[in-house]
Structure 1
Amino acid sequence: MVAVSQAEESHQRRLARNLNELLQELRVAQAGVQILFGFLLSIVFTERYASADAYIRATHLITILFAGGAVALLTAPAPWHRLLFRRGRREDVIEIANRFAIAGLVCLALAMTGTILMLGEVIVGGWIAIVMGVFAALVFGTLWFAWPWYERRRDTVTDGDEDDEDRIE
């Protein structure tokens, strides 16, 4: 197979590659969020949940809502692609899917934080559970958002550069 340089890559091939890369990234996140969502749903049917206080129940409900939002946002690009397939809208699908992916990851980070907070509250309770929740929020916020955005600001790539492999055109 002959390697094609970025300069020689056609607009449509670049869009196809960008879409494939995005969908592959979403597959990674989707599996995790769907497992988390199932776990959160199953908690309601345990004996211990029946005696949970209002704080645990509210945390659980909010966490389920964020997990459900993450499932919806992270899976939305697939139906968008399918429904707009062969309509010349690949660029629109990529732009919208990218926004959905970022919003879905925000929801997933909040769902993970809520899950850690809730489990911490059930297992150890008190201020330690809150510290666990805050720590989880800091870890997700830093690794998934703050650090990449910091690195993005350090980029030397400008909007006019043609050979950035991640650039959607």
Structure 2
Amino acid sequence: MVKETEKQRWDRNFSDLLQELRVAQTGVQILFAFLLTLPFSNGFPRTTPFQKDVYIVALIAAACATALIISPVAFHRALFRQGRKPELVKYAHKVATGGLFFMFVSMVSAVLLITDYVLPWPAALVISLCTGLFFVSFWAILPWSRRDWGEPDKTEEQTDERRENPEPYEVK
């Protein structure tokens, strides 16, 4: 068992979160780049008004996801060396969750756009719904159903108590 101080725990949590954001950031940037180039392709003028609406939803959702997933970097720059890592980690957790939501919307919209372009409407709808359910299963249902696998998160009260009595605690 390794003992770490609360400061070390916040540093570790921030480092873990940054690793997660790097993965998400790469994915959303690739999707966003694809969506930015799409209107300039030869086939785009043949899209229906519905497909253009879906494209706008996908594009704006990808832009929102990009902004949210990258925002912890700006927040870190603003708080650098102020000893506010707990605040930064809590903020980054919230915006990362929001970023994943917008990434979900963008991914499913992009699937709907492309499948509607190349397949009949019923097939496009079924594939897009299945894609959405697949994402929801692995990004929400499975993680939330397994939240009790490890130690429970510390409550605000426990965190405040630790600030008053800063004893190192053990990490398994």
* TM-score normalized with structure 2 length: 0.87
Separation in 2 of the partners of 1:125 and 1:73?
34
Q: Is the 8 A contact 1:64 1:111 kept in 2?
A: yes
- Unpaired segments of 5 or more residues in structure 2? 159-168
Q: 1:125: how far off?
A: 2.7
Alignment of 1:1-169 (within 5 A): 5=2, 8-152=3-147, 154-155=148-149, 157-158=151-152, 159=154, 163=170
After the TM superposition, which segments of 4 or more aligned residues of structure 1 sit over 6 Å from their partners? none
Closer, same or farther: CA 125–41 of 1 in aligned 2, 3 Å: farther
C-alpha RMSD of the superposition: 1.8
Closer, same or farther: CA 41–82 of 1 in aligned 2, 3 Å: same
Taking CA–CA contacts closer than 8 Å with sequence separation of 6 or more, which of the two structures ends up with the larger relative contact order? 2
Amino acid at match of 2:81: R
Q: Is the 8 A contact 2:4 2:170 kept in 1?
A: no
Separation in 1 of the partners of 2:127 and 2:149?
33
SS at the partner of 2:53?
A: helix
* TM-score normalized with structure 1 length: 0.88
- Tell me the percent identity: 31
Q: How many residues align?
A: 159
